Amino acid sequence: MQWFVDSPLLALFFCIGVGCIVGRIPFGPVSFGPAGALFVALALSAINPDVELPPIVTSLSLCVFCYVVGIAAGPAFLSAIRTQWKPVVVSVLAILAMAGVALGVGRAFDFDIGTIAGSFAGAGTATAALGAVQQQLAVDGQIPTEPAIGYAVAYPITVFLTILACTYLIGLGKRKPTPEDREPTPPIVVRTLELLDEPGMTVRDFDTRYPAVISRLTRDGTTVVAHDAEALAAGDLITITARQDEADRIVAELGRAAITEPWLDRSAIDFRRVTLSDPKSVGHQLHELRMEERFDAVVSRVRRGDVDIIATPDLVLQSGDRLRVTAPRDRLAEISAALGDSERTAGDINPIGLGLGLALGLCLAFLEIPLPGGNALTLGTATAPLIVGVILGAVGRTGPVVWTLPGNVANTLNQFTLLVFLSAVGLGAGGGLVTALSNDAVGLVTLGLTISLAHALICIIGLRMVLHYGTARALGGLTGSQLNPAPYAFAMGKVPDQRLALGYAVLFPVSMIVKVLLAQTMVAVF
* pLDDT tens sequence across 320-341: 899 999 999 999 999 999 999 9
Is the model's pLDDT at 34 over the cut of 70?
yes
Least confident of 7-11, 23-27, 228-232, 244-248: 23-27
pLDDT tens-digit series, residues 94-121: 999 999 999 999 999 999 999 999 999 9
Task: Note the pLDDT of residue 137.
Answer: 86
pTM (two decimals):
0.75
Q: Which residues pair with 218 in a beta bridge?
A: 223, 237
pLDDT tens-digit series, residues 390-443: 889 888 888 888 888 887 888 888 889 989 988 988 887 766 777 777 888 899
Q: Residue 310 in contact with residue 341, Cβ under 8 Å? A: no
pLDDT tens-digit series, residues 61-87: 989 988 988 888 777 777 667 777 899
Task: Note the pLDDT of residue 404.
Answer: 86
pLDDT tier, 448 (very low <50, low <70, confident <90, very high otherwise): very high
pLDDT tens-digit series, residues 217-236: 999 888 899 999 999 999 99
Q: What is the mean pLDDT of residues 195-212?
A: 90
Task: Note the pLDDT of residue 29.
Answer: 66
Is the model's pLDDT at 30 over the cut of 70?
no
Is the model's pLDDT at 305 over the cut of 90?
no
In this structure, what DSSP letter does residue 373 have? Answer: G
Q: Where are the beta strands (DSSP E) in 335-405?
A: 368-370, 376-378, 397-398, 401-402
Task: Note the pLDDT of residue 52.
Answer: 86
Task: Note the pLDDT of residue 70.
Answer: 84
Neighbours of 256 (CB within 10 A): 11
Positive or negative, the CA dihedral 168, 174, 177, 183 is: positive
Question: How far is it, in rounded angstroms, from Cα 101 to Cα 232?
Answer: 61
DSSP code per residue over 411-446: HHHHHHHHHHHHHHHHHTTHHHHHHHHHHHHHHHHH
269 sits in which H/E element: strand 269-275
Q: Between 453 and 501, name the one with better pLDDT.
A: 453
